[in-house]
């Protein structure tokens, strides 16, 4: 049966789809099983390039199977939750597929999360095991005893590096990392050796509707939530990716900068490219200043990133470098402005990549980061395009299910196979965001504003929900404020986004101090350390300003617009 036989689609879009993608089917299987089909096709081709060391599709599967046996030896069973707290290193992808093979659920978290955030992510998901990058040890050891995690697998960035590069890494950085102590901890190498004690038939049968991963986001209210994603969501993106980038050939390469704990990074940069027979160039640590150098060194055919990264590429000192090997620049995570689009096209043209396509997509973690994409046939290059085939989109009056007229602004709603099951242990907010409409379909209310043209092309306008996007990460002011106001010195606070050259926006906190506290250096230091303990590094305020009071509207609410206008004016004046 065809994948989308039972879906009622907007016929306006049919002329924009190819016959091949309209025949698309989602395998009723697990992510791992679909991966094994790809291995059969691309066996000896390189799947991963990590600091010049290649791991073939065949060897990657061997490592995944070995990891799966070790998981089962350690007692991981179907539907157990296993947390991955790592940057883009091969071990993170190996663990992700292995967790899926044994029928467990991968809980993906940021390795730079604050210690209390790590504690929350482990306890709220009832994680049984943790795969951790060694630099997170100092935070993990403070909270691990509060959790049900009975085994921690410690990975170093050097574990999969070529020998001499690993030596260099240890001499310059690795020696600073403290070694974990205690029976709870195992190195990656020792963990993988456990596989020899378990039969080779490790694994369980899983279906597309089974939960595969938990990703974390603030949803539409800003409070941290676990987002339940199925095998189907991943298999849909994986099966569809060849239609989004049709000119990619087997053996082409993709620079994987977007991290595995980000829906865009996990689905589009890591899992999806394997359907193309592509080589994933893994970068565990990234700086905008080194972006240009990474491009010229690795010569990727596909560059996937947030708009800030493409801005950094344009600003890099590449001079007369030939970039003719670049076929696609795929932008997501935030809006690609008209000015940046043209600057990027000019930059590519000047460096021999004038035929490269610049694609912009739209999505959110609740739909595995992508639900529509700008297509060459649409002509409207500043749109978010049309839904991926099998998805449905519409615009409704905010706070209702009533569809607006064509061309009118409203809330973007999405229905389709990549939409989440719901928020972990949060029925109230799940029911607010996932609603059954008159057509009997489940619609995701995105909290974003946009409109649809008469040609069926969608445009994103702004976020209805209060949110800051910093280097592609969603930062929620309400969550930062809640953390700030736990500090004994803080009576009241509010947080806004202010412009930043590379990150687009960063958080700025305005604070009214409680009686008995002054705006001294020691108080500010204490507040900052408090934020670093409870927030991920990208959410920690970039700046703190103490005030006697905060401006309010006529209704008595904090006047965010006034603070934003003041901040912009001060920045213009160099204050």
Tell which residue, 157, 188, 161, has the closest CA to residue 174. Answer: 157
Tell which residue, 440, 444, 447, 481, has the closest CA to residue 563. Answer: 481
Q: What's the whole-number mean pLDDT along residues 192-205?
A: 87
Q: What is the pLDDT of residue 174?
A: 60
- Give CA separation, 243 vs 110, 226, 229, 276, in Å: 30, 30, 22, 10
Q: What is the pLDDT of residue 7?
A: 46
Give the Cα-Cα-Cα angle 467, 470, 475 (nearest 5 degrees). Answer: 35
Which H/E stretch holds residue 431?
Answer: helix 427-433
Q: What is the pLDDT of residue 202?
A: 73
Q: Report residue 359 as tokens.
A: 């694609």
Q: What's the whole-number mean pLDDT along residues 111-115?
A: 88
Q: Is pLDDT above 50 for 109?
A: yes
Count of all residues that appear for the chain in the document: 575
Give the Cα-Cα-Cα angle 54, 134, 132 (nearest 5 degrees). Answer: 80
Contacts of 394 (CB under 8 A, 6+ apart): 10, 403, 413, 443, 452
pLDDT tens, position by position, 411-441 = 999 999 999 999 999 999 999 999 999 999 9
Q: Is the pTM above the cut of 0.85? A: no
pLDDT tens, position by position, 463-519 = 666 778 777 677 888 888 888 988 999 988 889 888 887 777 889 999 988 888 888
Contacts of 206 (CB under 8 A, 6+ apart): 29, 30, 32, 33, 100, 103, 212, 231
Strand partners, 226: 216
Q: What is the pLDDT of residue 5?
A: 43
Min mean pLDDT across 301-310, 379-388, 428-437 is at: 379-388
Q: What's the whole-number mean pLDDT along residues 518-528?
A: 91
Q: What's the whole-number mean pLDDT along residues 441-462?
A: 88
Q: Is pLDDT above 50 for 4?
A: no
Give the chain's domains with CATH numbers.
29-45+53-206 (3.40.50.12780), 387-463 (2.30.38.10), 468-572 (3.30.300.30)
pLDDT: is 296 or 361 the higher one?
Answer: 296
Tell which residue, 121, 126, 129, 125, has the closest CA to residue 102. Answer: 129
DSSP string, 226-258: EEEEEHHHHHHHHHHHHHHSTT--TT-EEEE-S
Q: Is pLDDT above 90 for 235?
A: yes
Identify the three-state secondary structure at position 338: helix
Q: 263, 365 in Cβ contact below 8 A?
A: yes
Q: Is pLDDT above 80 for 102?
A: yes
């Amino acid at each position: 049966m065809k994948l989308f036989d039972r879906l009622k689609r907007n016929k306006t879009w049919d002329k924009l789809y190819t016959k091949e993608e309209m025949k698309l089917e989602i395998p009723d299987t697990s992510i791992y099983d679909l991966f094994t089909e790809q291995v059969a096709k691309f066996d000896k081709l390189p799947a991963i390039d990590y600091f010049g060391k290649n791991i073939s599709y065949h060897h990657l599967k061997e490592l995944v199977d070995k990891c799966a046996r070790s998981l089962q030896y350690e007692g991981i069973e179907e539907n157990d939750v296993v947390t991955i707290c790592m940057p883009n290193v091969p071990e993170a992808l190996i663990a992700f597929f292995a967790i899926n093979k044994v029928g467990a659920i991968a809980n993906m978290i940021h390795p730079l999360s604050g210690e209390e955030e790590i504690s929350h992510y482990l306890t709220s998901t009832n994680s049984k095991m943790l795969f951790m990058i060694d630099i997170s040890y100092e935070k993990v050891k403070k909270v691990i005893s509060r959790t049900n995690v009975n085994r921690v697998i410690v990975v170093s960035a050097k574990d999969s590096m070529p020998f001499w590069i690993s030596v260099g890494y240890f001499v310059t950085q690795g020696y600073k990392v403290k070694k974990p102590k205690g029976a709870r901890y195992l190195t990656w190498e020792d963990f993988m050796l456990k596989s020899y004690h378990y039969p080779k038939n490790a694994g369980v049968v899983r279906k597309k509707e089974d939960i595969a991963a938990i990703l974390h986001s603030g949803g539409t209210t800003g409070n941290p939530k676990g987002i339940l994603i199925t095998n189907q969501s991943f298999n849909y993106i994986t099966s569809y990716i060849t239609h989004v980038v049709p000119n990619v050939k087997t053996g082409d390469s993709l620079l994987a900068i977007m991290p595995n704990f980000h829906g865009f990074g996990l689905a589009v940069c890591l899992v999806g490219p394997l359907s193309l027979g592509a080589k994933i160039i893994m970068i565990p640590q990234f700086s905008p200043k080194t972006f240009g150098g990474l491009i010229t060194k690795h010569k990727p055919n596909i560059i996937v990133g947030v708009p800030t990264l493409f801005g950094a590429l344009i600003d890099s000192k590449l001079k007369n470098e030939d970039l003719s090997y670049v076929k696609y620049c795929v932008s997501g995570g935030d809006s690609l402005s008209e000015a940046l689009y043209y600057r990027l096209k000019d930059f590519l043209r000047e460096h021999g990549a004038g035929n490269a396509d610049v694609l912009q997509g739209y999505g959110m973690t609740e739909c595995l980061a992508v639900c529509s994409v700008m297509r060459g046939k649409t002509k409207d290059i500043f749109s978010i395009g049309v839904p991926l085939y099998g998805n449905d989109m519409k615009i409704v009056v905010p706070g209702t299910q009533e569809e607006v007229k064509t061309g009118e602004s409203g809330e973007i709603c999405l229905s389709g196979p990549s939409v989440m099951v719901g928020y972990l242990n949060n029925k109230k907010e799940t029911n607010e965001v996932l609603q059954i409409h008159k057509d009997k379909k489940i619609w995701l209310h995105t909290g974003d504003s946009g409109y649809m043209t008469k040609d069926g092309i969608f445009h994103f306008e702004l976020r209805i929900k209060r949110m800051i996007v910093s280097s592609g990460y969603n930062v929620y002011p309400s969550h930062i404020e809640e953390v700030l106001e736990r500090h004994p010195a803080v009576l009241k606070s509010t947080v806004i986004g202010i412009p930043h050259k590379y990150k687009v926006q960063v958080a700025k906190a305005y604070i009214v101090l409680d009686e008995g506290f002054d705006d001294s250096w020691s108080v500010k230091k204490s507040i900052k350390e408090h934020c670093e303990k409870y927030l991920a590094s990208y959410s920690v305020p970039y700046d703190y300003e103490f005030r006697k009071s905060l401006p309010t509207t006529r209704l008595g609410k904090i006047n965010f617009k006034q603070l934003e206008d003041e901040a912009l004016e001060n920045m213009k004046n160099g204050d």
